[in-house]
Amino acid sequence: MTSKDVYDGLCEEICRHDKLYYVDHKPEISDQEYDALFKKVEALEAEHSEWVTPISPTQRVGEMLSSGFKTVDHALPMLSLANTYSKEEIEEFITRVVKLAGHDDVVYSVELKMDGIAVSLRYENGFFVRALTRGDGKRGDDITNNARTIRSIPLQLYGESIPEVLEVRGEVYMPRKDFEALNAERAEAEEDMWANPRNAAAGSLKLIDPKQTAKRPLEIALYSIAEMTPQAPQSQHGSHVFLNSLGLPTLLHIAKCHSVDEIWEYASKIEALRPSLPFDIDGIVIKVDSISEQRRLGYTGKNPRWAVAYKFAAEQATTRIRDITVQVGRTGTLTPVAELEPTLLAGSTIARATLHNEEEVARKDIRIGDSVIIEKGGDVIPKVVRVLPEKRPADSQVWTMPATCPACGTPVQRIEGEVAVRCPNIQSCPTQLLRRLTHFVSKHAMNIDTLGEKILVQLIDKGFVKSAADLFVLTPEQLYQLEGFKDRAVSNMLKSLDAARNIELSRFLFALGIRYVGTGTAELLAQRAGTIDGLTKLSYEDLIAIDGIGDKVAVAVTEFLGDPRQQQEIQRLLDAGVVPQELETQSFSGHPFEGKTFVLTGTLTQFTRTDAAKQIKQRGGKVTG
Ligand code: IVH
């Protein structure tokens, strides 16, 4: 066997495992084993770049993929579904279908209504060639390069009967647990959080840099064939089976029904299942199963007559507010939190809900002691929808934001034009310090898992640690004073601190806790700056010229780096032996736009203004207003 045969075999093996994992949901190997296969392919490609083809597994993110999105006409319009909200409305739909079909033994395909982003994928002679978003239904954005990074989208179809042309439609989504993890990181970085997995998926699909999209855990579930040569299967059920045989991921829990009662039973079963599904759904879809009957029924304006959605209500519960407490964030923001009588909602016990800010509390007139309706719509963090005034007890208490920080007693600060109230005691508010340190040691930052919250609290209480840099100068004598710390614990702690000293630049930047700088932004900064020193030299204009960085982040980074206290802290970290690894910078040198500044005026015909600005920035140019 030649090494080319080995290479081909490995590529095939990886494709097979992608299918087992994403399509069949039956992985045969561990993630580590998968990564090992991948590394072998990469190693062979490093020696034989001539073997690399667009469909080799390493090419999901090509080096020179263009970005900015072209708008492309859909082969067939992407329509939407009419909604129903009750059994009666489903019955009305069935009655209409039966009347139009002229017989009452219509078979229905019932499916999950995925709460994601609709896309259309095109395959020609078995190769993935294009992905479009729904757009306005007639024309969508060409997101091919981003879609290529989604591992559940095969770049090449499987099987014997590969169609010449196949255009399939489905929904791109972010699994709930991945969404929660990413959102927790964003919260930690005080970046804007996504409201729900759908927003996260939408944002991820529209990133300009496919390399960034590749890091977002997106998946796809397909539910229909829009175009196919030769002829497509003649039923919705047949379509699912056929798409699956080509290695394409389809919907889970598809079923056939023959009556309203059967459909209602299915809807109830799925609604009960909803909290335990790994992704968000917002209802079910009922479709006439026969494709020829679908064709006969046709469309009204923008909805098919042969299908309808049944939407579940947002999951709500009634509970009581026991207290309203105030949470102190890493940068001192004070957030009111409702402490609730624990109640079951959407599969989990809810004991707290964020009230966002004092304006929100006043607007909804939320008082301590009130009975309230809480809801978990698409959103992960439950919210208080409204108060039940008829249940308000006589002794309910109006809440106001305390005048001093609950953690350190410093008078709070209100910043003009902002709703947020802050504790200005950055230096010595113990809770701010604890939040900063927790962030600093967290998994995607310095990743020092020996420093749990309990230990950090003790280190702060004993006055050993006043900033992150102090962690690296802790002495054994100090560590022996911590609860339960004997020889082993002390030596483990010192070892793990030592190991943490050598750190990727992007992680170090994330760990610093600059406002709005999450892992993704930290990486962009690291790529551009190369070193800590390089970063401190970047001006606001340099920062804003980085694709993916906007005004808010550029201002926050400039302010942070210009603050003498932060400069001193960075220096102390470096002096304590922390070594952020240098990176090769992504320089724009040699590019025609380098050093040039552009002003966009008038009407642009080929691009939107935002797209044009992005394209210029990517080529090293600057854009000003
Ligand atoms: S069929 C012509 N099936 O819901 C009808 N849509 O308003 C084509 N959706 O835009 C849609 N799950 O984004 C269909 N099983 C499913 C679906 C589904 C989610 C979305 C889709 C569509 C919207 C309908």
Average pLDDT score over residue span 176-192: 81
* 251, two tokens: 């919907």
Sign of the four-CA dihedral 139, 141, 144, 147: negative
Looking up tokens 């310090």, which residue turns up? 433
**Ranges 39-43, 170-174, 218-222, 500-504: which has the least confidence:** 39-43
With H, G, I as helix, E, B as strand and everything else as coil, classify residue 575.
Answer: helix
Query: Is 336's pLDDT higher than 50?
Result: yes
Spatial separation of the C-alpha atoms in residues 416 and 414, rounded to whole Å: 6
Ligand 1: centre distance to CA 200 (Å): 18
Query: Which residues lie across from 112 on neighbouring strands?
Result: 284
220 ligand 1 Cβ < 6 A: no
189 three-class SS: coil
Rounded-to-integer distance, Cα 245 and Cα 515, Å: 48
Ligand 1: does its nearest atom lie under 6 Å from the Cβ of 254?
A: no
Query: Longest Cα pair distance anywhere in the chain, in angstroms?
Result: 88
Contact between residue 374 and residue 350 where contact means Cβ atoms under 8 Å apart? yes
Give the pLDDT mean for 309-314: 87
Active-site option among 19, 113, 376, 622? 113
pLDDT confidence of residue 507: 93
Cα 229 to averaged position of ligand 1 atoms, centre (Å): 23
- Would the CB of 81 count as within 6 Å of ligand 1? yes
pLDDT in tens, 416-435: 888 889 999 988 899 999 99
Give the best-scoring range by mean pLDDT among 69-78, 420-429, 566-575, 598-607.
566-575
Closest CA to 471 of 504, 444, 436: 436
Does residue 113 have an active-site annotation?
A: yes
The DSSP line for 509-572 is HHHTT-TT--HHHHHHHHHHH-SHHHHHT--HHHHHTSTT--HHHHHHHHHHHH-HHHHHHHHH
The better pLDDT of the pair 171, 183 is held by 171
Query: How far does CA 83 lie from the centroid of its chain?
Result: 27
- Is the pLDDT score of 368 beyond 90? yes
Confidence at residue 313, expressed as pLDDT on a 0 to 100 scale: 80
Query: How close is the Cα of 284 to the center of ligand 1, in Å?
Result: 9
What is the position in ligand 1's atom list of the atom closest to the CA of 81? Answer: 7
Confidence of residue 66 (pLDDT cuts 50, 70, 90): very low
Nearest CA to ligand 1 atom 13: 118
pLDDT at 32 over 80: no
User: 63 pLDDT exceeds 60?
Assistant: no
Task: Kindly calculate the radius of gyration of the chain based on its CA atoms and give it in whole angstroms.
Answer: 28
Q: Is 270 in the pocket of ligand 1 (CB under 6 A)?
A: no
- Residue 79 CB–ligand 1 contact under 6 Å: yes
**Sign of the four-CA dihedral 384, 389, 390, 392:** positive
Q: Determine the Cα–Cα distance for residues 11 and 145; give it in Å rounded to an integer.
A: 20
pLDDT exceeds cutoff 50 at 516? yes
How far apart CA 115 and CA 72 sit, in angstroms, is: 24
Closest residue by CA, ligand 1 atom 12: 113
Reported as a pLDDT band with limits 50, 70 and 90, residue 550 is: confident
| Contact partners, residue 1, CB within 8 Å, separation at least 6 | none
The residue to mutate among 84, 111, 114, having the most atoms of ligand 1 within 8 angstroms of its beta carbon, is: 114
Angle at 284 between CA 283 and CA 287, to 5 degrees: 150
CA of 81 to the centre of ligand 1 (A): 6
The Cα–Cα gap between 474 and 455 comes to 13
Q: Indicate the pLDDT class of residue 196, thresholds 50, 70 and 90.
A: confident
Q: At what angle do helices 3-18 and 31-47 cross, to 10 degrees?
A: 140
What is the pLDDT confidence band of residue 184, given thresholds at 50, 70 and 90?
confident
Residue 2: predicted pLDDT? 82
**Do residues 178 and 217 touch, judged by C-beta distance below 8 A?**
yes
pLDDT band at 62 (very low <50, low <70, confident <90, very high): very low
Ligand 1, atom 2: nearest CA belongs to which residue? 79
Q: Is 223 in the pocket of ligand 1 (CB under 6 A)?
A: yes
Please give the distance, rounded to the nearest whole angstrom, from the Cα atom of residue 80 to the centre of ligand 1: 6
Neighbours of 97 (CB within 10 A): 20
Q: Of 10-19, 177-186, 346-355, 612-621, give the lowest mean pLDDT range.
A: 612-621
Ligand 1 within 6 A of 307 CB?
Answer: yes
Cβ–Cβ < 8 Å for 440, 513: yes
